[in-house]
C-alpha cells in the first residue's frame, strides 16, 4: 500500500506556485502530526516529572530532572480503590485474560472460516451473516443477561467447590471474561479467516480429498501452513480489542482483585483521596497503553490490515 506511488501529475502552474504548494502541504501535514503526537508527548513528559514541577511548570516543557519514581509508584504502590499495591497485579490480570481469549477465539475463527469456505453447505451464508452481525451489536443489549448467567454459574461454582473441592473455574472473574471475549470475538475472527480462505485455491483442498486426506488433515497440513499472515492479523486485532475493552471488564470484574488493566487505570485516575498525583496517573496510563503500542510499532502493517478487514469486507 505504501510502496505504490501515484503516477506523476504534471502541474499547470509555474515553479513558484509549485514550491509554495509544497510548503503549504508539508506545513499542514506537520501541523497535524503535532496534533496527533501532542497528547502522547504530554502524557510521557508528565510521567517523568515531579509533582512540584507539574504544578509550577509548563505542561509542554521537558522534565528538568527526569525521575522514574512515578512509574515505580504506579507499578508497585499506587492506590486502586482501597488497596495500595500498584497496578502490577491488574496488568497480569489482563495478560491472563487476553492470552487464552485471543488463542481460543482465533483458533475457532480459523476452523469456522475453513468450514464456511471449503465445506460449504446450504445456509452457510445465513450462518455467517448471523455470526457477523453479532460483531456489531451494542454490547449493552446482552450485558444484563450475561451478568445474570455468570452470576448463576458463580453460585453453581460455589456448590461445586463445596462438594468437590474445586469450582472448575466457574465464578472466577478472569475465566468469565475469557468466556465473554471468546463469545463476542468469534464473529470477527470468523470473518477474517473466511475472507482469507475464500481466496485460497479450492483445487488444493479437492486434490487432497481425492488423495484421501481427512477434514482435519487438510486443515492441519494445507490450510494452517498457509495462514500465517491472517493469524498475525487476527491475533493482533483480538489482542488490541480485548486488552482495551472496558465495558465487559467493568461489568463483570469491576471490583476486587480480578479487574483488568483498563478498569484499574480508570480507578487510579478517579481515586480522589488526598493530592491527585498526575505524574503517577500518567505513568499508569502509559503502562496500560504500552502493550498495544508495542504491538503497533512492531507489527503496524498487520494492525492496519486487521482494522481494514474489520471495516471493509470482501
Q: What is the Cα–Cα distance from 230 to 249, expressed in whole angstroms?
A: 27
In angstroms, give the least distance from the CB of 163 to another protein: 26
- Of 43, 50, 92, 42, the closest CA to residue 70 belongs to 50
In angstroms, give the least distance from the CB of 256 to another protein: 15
Q: Could you tell me which residues are beta bridge partners of residue 207?
A: none
Cα separation values, 208 from 66, 111, 190, 220, 267, Å: 62, 17, 23, 12, 55
In angstroms, give the least distance from the CB of 63 to another protein: 15
Residue 199 in grid coordinates: 481466496
Q: Rg of the chain over CA atoms, in angstroms?
A: 25
In angstroms, give the least distance from the CB of 159 to another protein: 20
Quick one: 205 or 230, whose CB is closer to another protein?
A: 205
In angstroms, give the least distance from the CB of 57 to another protein: 9
In angstroms, give the least distance from the CB of 286 to another protein: 8
Alpha helices in 120-246 (DSSP H): 124-133, 140-164, 173-183, 186-198, 202-210, 215-218, 228-244
**Strand, helix or coil for residue 64:** coil
Quick one: 58 or 273, whose CB is closer to another protein?
A: 58
Quick one: 36 or 164, whose CB is closer to another protein?
A: 36
Contact in structure between 294 and 306 (CB atoms under 8 Å): no
Quick one: 13 or 66, whose CB is closer to another protein?
A: 13
307: Cα separation from own chain's centroid: 11
Quick one: 161 or 195, whose CB is closer to another protein?
A: 195
Q: What is the Cα–Cα distance from 37 to 96, expressed in whole angstroms?
A: 31
In angstroms, give the least distance from the CB of 42 to another protein: 6
Report DSSP state, residue 165: S
Quick one: 161 or 271, whose CB is closer to another protein?
A: 271
Quick one: 161 or 289, whose CB is closer to another protein?
A: 289
Amino acid at each position: 500500500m505504501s510502496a505504490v506511488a501515484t503516477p506523476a501529475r504534471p502541474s499547470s502552474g509555474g515553479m513558484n506556485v509549485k514550491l509554495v504548494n509544497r510548503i503549504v502541504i508539508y506545513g499542514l501535514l506537520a501541523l497535524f502530526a503535532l496534533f496527533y503526537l501532542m497528547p502522547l508527548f504530554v502524557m510521557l513528559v508528565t510521567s517523568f516529572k515531579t509533582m512540584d514541577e507539574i504544578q509550577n511548570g509548563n505542561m509542554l516543557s521537558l522534565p528538568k530532572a527526569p525521575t522514574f519514581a512515578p512509574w515505580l509508584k504506579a507499578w508497585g504502590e499506587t492506590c486502586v480503590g482501597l488497596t495500595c499495591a500498584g497496578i502490577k497485579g491488574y496488568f497480569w490480570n489482563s495478560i491472563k485474560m487476553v492470552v487464552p481469549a485471543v488463542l481460543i477465539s482465533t483458533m475457532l475463527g480459523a476452523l469456522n472460516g475453513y468450514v464456511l469456505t471449503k465445506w460449504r453447505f446450504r445456509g452457510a451464508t445465513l450462518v455467517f451473516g448471523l455470526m457477523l452481525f453479532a460483531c456489531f451489536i451494542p454490547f449493552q443489549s446482552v450485558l444484563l443477561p450475561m451478568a445474570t448467567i455468570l452470576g448463576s454459574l458463580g453460585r453453581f461454582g460455589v456448590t461445586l467447590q463445596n462438594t468437590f473441592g474445586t469450582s472448575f473455574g466457574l465464578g472466577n472473574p478472569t475465566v468469565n471474561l475469557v468466556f465473554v471475549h471468546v463469545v463476542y470475538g468469534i464473529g470477527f475472527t470468523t470473518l477474517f479467516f473466511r475472507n482469507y480462505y475464500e481466496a485460497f485455491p479450492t483445487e488444493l483442498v479437492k486434490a487432497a480429498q481425492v488423495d484421501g486426506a481427512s477434514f482435519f488433515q487438510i486443515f492441519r497440513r494445507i490450510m494452517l501452513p498457509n495462514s500465517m499472515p491472517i493469524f498475525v492479523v487476527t491475533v493482533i486485532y483480538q489482542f488490541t480489542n480485548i486488552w482495551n475493552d472496558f465495558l465487559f471488564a467493568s461489568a463483570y470484574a469491576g471490583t476486587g482483585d480480578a479487574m483488568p488493566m483498563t478498569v484499574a487505570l480508570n480507578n487510579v485516575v478517579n481515586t480522589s483521596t488526598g493530592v491527585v498525583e498526575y505524574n503517577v496517573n500518567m505513568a499508569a496510563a502509559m503502562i496500560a497503553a504500552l502493550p498495544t503500542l508495542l504491538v503497533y510499532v512492531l507489527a503496524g502493517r498487520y494492525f492496519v490490515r486487521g482494522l481494514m478487514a474489520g471495516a471493509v469486507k470482501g
